[in-house]
Every structure is written in C-alpha cells, then in structure tokens.
Amino acid sequence: MKEYSSIPLRKFVAPEFLFGSGAIPMLSRYIKNLGVKKILLVSDPGVMNAGWVSVVEKQIKDTHIPHVLFTDVSPNPRDCEVMTGAEIYQKESCDMIVAVGGGSPMDCAKGIGIVCINKSHISEFEGVDKIPLPGPPLVCIPTTSGTSADISQFSIILDSVRKVKMAIVSKILVPDAALIDPVTLSTMDAKLTAETGMDALVHAFEAYVSNASSPITDLNALRAVELIRKNLVGMIKCGGKGEEADNMMLGSLLAGLAFSNASLGIVHAMAHALGGFLDLRHGECNAILLEHAVNYNYESAHEKYNDLASAMGIETKGMTDSQIKNALTESIGKLRYDSGIRHGFSALGLKKDEIPFLADYALSDICIVTNPREALKSEIEELYVAAF
C-alpha cells in the first residue's frame, strides 16, 4: 500500500449515523430532538410494498407529529418528481424530511429539500457547490447495501428534457442523520442485491484510484472491497439475512464514506449517461463497466490497482503488472457473473449509433474530473463498445 510522506489538505464530511440492529426505532428520538411540526416521508412503491414505509410510519406516529407521504419516485428519480415533492412539502407546511429506501428516494428527498429552501428548479443546482442555502432537517433510512446516499454529499437526478442524469454535489446534501439497519436488506431480491452490491464495489474502486483520494478514504475503500468481495454472493444466496448482510451493509457504508469524500470516476460518468438516456438501472450499468474501466485506467494508477487486487483476494507476489491487471479484471468479471449479471449493454437495448451521444454526456459529467486518466471522447466510445 502507498506510503504518504506528506499528506495534502483534504476536507471530509459525513452525517451523524447509527449502524446496526435497532437503528430504525431511534427515528422517533431524532424527530423529537429536532422539534419539528410536520414531516414529509419520501419513499417509492417497491419499498412501500416491502413493508418498510409502514415500519417507519409507526416510529413517526409514536411521536404524535403529523406526516404526509410522497412515494411517486422512479428508480432513476426525475426532476419533475423532485418538483412535485417540493410542492407537497410546501403545501402541507412540512419542516422536516424523512427518506426510506434506496438511492432513488434518498436522492429525491435531498432534491426536494434544497428546492423548497432555495426556491429554484432542481436543475439550477447541477454541479459542485451550487446550493446557496441548506435544506430542512433530513434523516435517511437506507434499505439497500449499495448506494450510500444516506451518508454522501451527492444527489443524482434525471433531467427529463435532456435525458441525462444531473450530478449535484455539495456538503449541504449530507443528511443530518442516517439510521443504517441491516435488517432492511432482508426484503431485497437477488437482482437488486447484486446490482447494489456491485454499485458499492465500484464506489470503493473509483474512490481509491481517484485523484482526490486520501489516506482516510483509502482505508475505507480497501476495507469495503474486502467486505463486498467476501460477502456479496453469500448474501444473495442467504436472502439478505445473517452475517453476510451485516458485512455488506458495512461495506456499503465504508464505500460511501470513501467516495463521498474522494469522488468517483469514469465508470459513474458513463453509467450516468446510460441511465439518463435509456433509463437503465444504475448498479447494473456500473457492474458491466467496471472491469473495462480498470483495464483502461490501470497504467495511470497501477500501484493503487495492485492494492485493489490484493483486496480482491489475489496473491500478487511475483506477478508482473500486466499479470495483476489481467487477474484483477478477471476477478471483477467473475464476481459480476457469480452475482447474476451476465450480459452486456446490447441486451439492455443500447444501439451502437447511440454511443457517440452518450460519450459526449459522459465527458461532461462531474465524476470524470477525478478519474486517474484523462479520457478522450473516442476512448469512452471504445469502452462502451467493449461492454456491449
């Protein structure tokens, strides 16, 4: 692992968070401590059907503080959904937001909060540090082990006109609290478990090789890779329960702490373009792209990728860089395959003549700024083709 002779100045942000069994019942205490009058509860139909909305509603009702429910959130949350949620928040005179679900409800909830306070369309905040005023109190309860929106300073919202995902990045988006309880993972199906788990793996990989990484984010990223590599397939087999689920939730948390403070890279830039244009599932796109991005980036960060190879369980002693690179990409591909993601983008409806359009958007995505290798449009096009 790289030794640091001099540590550059870095800023780190994270919310207050509770991790472990019994985290959700602490919601009522947070609500009482905040002294709010009415709550907007944000979720989506899948989480509602899984029963977690009613669990959270019980905690809210125990406080005797009224709430209103907003669940019209898509898997890729749209700008119009954010604006609708903001209208409900204002009409109902809410002064707090609780989000329960995966990245979609949590990202939407973040957007609702900043729109309500800053009185502008959500698209006005695209980019880094474009939010003037903080939103209302926000508590997030994640129900997947992948997105880490509950502890990050990111919100990803689909611009329904341009058909591109907007990356909104600011410390203002960090929730006031995250209640992280592995019990919520028990209702995920195998497909969602695989996609969110691979998403977390990509978070850790990209944070570790990011040109904004640091000793603190590196520690979190490497441990996240180890946990995800050892537990993802087992968690899928056991149905999201037991030690594997606990470890995957921890891996997701550590990966989130890493990428929220070191940012991401070319995989997320390309996945955002795909998700916005074709409305594809984010974790699935990331999973398909990761091994190709590692192959592309390797020479620009070979020492760090060698560390990641060790975290993936590869015995690198005596191997050349070329051998390590090949072993690493093969191990990523095997984990993806064993998780059930066994196809490329052609199976998801991507057409080759759409690739230049996607490459343009990937180049403009904020995540590509911290990729260890500066990419050309033609190179991004080649990566899409390689993952076809």
Residue-wise pLDDT tens digits, 247-287: 999 999 999 999 999 999 999 999 999 999 999 999 999 99
How many Å apart are CA 306 and CA 303, to the nearest integer? 5
pLDDT at res. 7: 73
* Domain locations along the chain: 16-185, 189-386
CB 181 within 8 Å of CB 59: no
CA 282 to chain centroid: 9
How large is the average pLDDT for residues 75-82?
Answer: 97
pLDDT at res. 64: 96
88 pLDDT above the threshold of 70: yes
Task: Kindly report which listed range (9-23, 94-108, 293-307) carries the lowest average pLDDT score.
Answer: 9-23
Percent of the chain with pLDDT over 70: 98
pLDDT at res. 3: 63
304 pLDDT above the threshold of 90: yes
What phi and psi values does residue 97 have, to the nearest 5 degrees?
A: -125, 135
pLDDT at res. 240: 81
372 pLDDT above the threshold of 90: yes
105 pLDDT above the threshold of 90: yes
pLDDT in tens, 140-184: 999 999 999 999 999 999 999 999 999 999 999 999 999 999 999
How large is the average pLDDT for residues 1-19?
Answer: 80
Q: Is the dihedral of CA 44, 50, 51, 55 positive or negative?
A: negative
Mean pLDDT estimate for the chain? 96
241 pLDDT above the threshold of 90: no
- Nearest Cα to Cα of residue 335 among 229, 225, 222: 229
16-185: in CATH 3.40.50.1970: yes
pLDDT at res. 275: 94
- Nearest Cα to Cα of residue 360 among 380, 387, 334: 380
Cβ-proximal residues to 382 (8 Å cutoff; 6+ apart), any chain: none
How many Å apart are CA 341 and CA 330, to the nearest integer? 14
Which one of 3.30.1360.120, 1.20.1090.10, 3.20.20.140, 3.40.50.1100 gives the CATH number of domain 189-386?
1.20.1090.10
374 pLDDT above the threshold of 70: yes
Confidence of residue 4 (pLDDT cuts 50, 70, 90): low
pLDDT in tens, 312-355: 999 999 999 999 999 999 999 999 999 999 999 999 999 999 99
239 pLDDT above the threshold of 90: no
